[in-house]
């Protein structure tokens, strides 16, 4: 069972760097989440992690990274969301895909 409360400092530094840098780079490119996970799992194994635990370990590492370095780790996605807001500064708009109001309805 995953332990998403484990801090980044409890992971080997090489594995932490490999997984988080791979995720961040894939996010910068706009890769799909499933592709990011696959790449991060491969980076985990290549950095010395156990292949049998890669799926859970990567998710634990990403959870710790989001808690402790969220601005950096999630930054590419947050910038992408902000860039696609149709009404800049409209904090009520949740992002792409949200239905537009019907004519005559308040925004």
> Which DSSP string corresponds to 52-67?
GGHHHHHHHHHHHHHH
- For 30-46, the DSSP string reads T--HHHHHHHHHHHHHH
Task: Kindly state the average pLDDT of the residues 39-66.
Answer: 96
The pLDDT assigned to 80 comes to 82
Kindly report the pTM of this predicted structure.
0.73
User: 104 or 66: whose pLDDT is higher?
Assistant: 66
- Taken in order 74, 77, 80, 84, the sign of the CA dihedral is negative
The pLDDT assigned to 70 comes to 86
Strand (E) or helix (H) holding 22: helix 13-29
The pLDDT assigned to 42 comes to 98
Residue 5 has pLDDT above 70, yes or no: yes
Res. 85 pLDDT band, cuts 50 70 90:
low
């Amino acid at each position: 069972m995953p332990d998403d409360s484990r801090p980044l400092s409890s992971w080997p530094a090489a594995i932490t760097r490999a997984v988080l840098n791979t995720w961040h780079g894939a996010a910068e490119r706009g890769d799909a989440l499933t592709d990011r996970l696959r790449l991060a799992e491969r980076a985990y194994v290549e950095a010395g992690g156990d292949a049998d635990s890669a799926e859970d370990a990567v998710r634990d590492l990403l959870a710790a990274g989001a808690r402790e370095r969220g601005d950096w780790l999630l930054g590419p996605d947050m910038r992408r969301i902000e860039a696609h807001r149709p009404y800049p500064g409209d904090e009520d708009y949740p992002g792409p895909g949200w239905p537009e109001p019907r004519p005559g309805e308040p925004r």
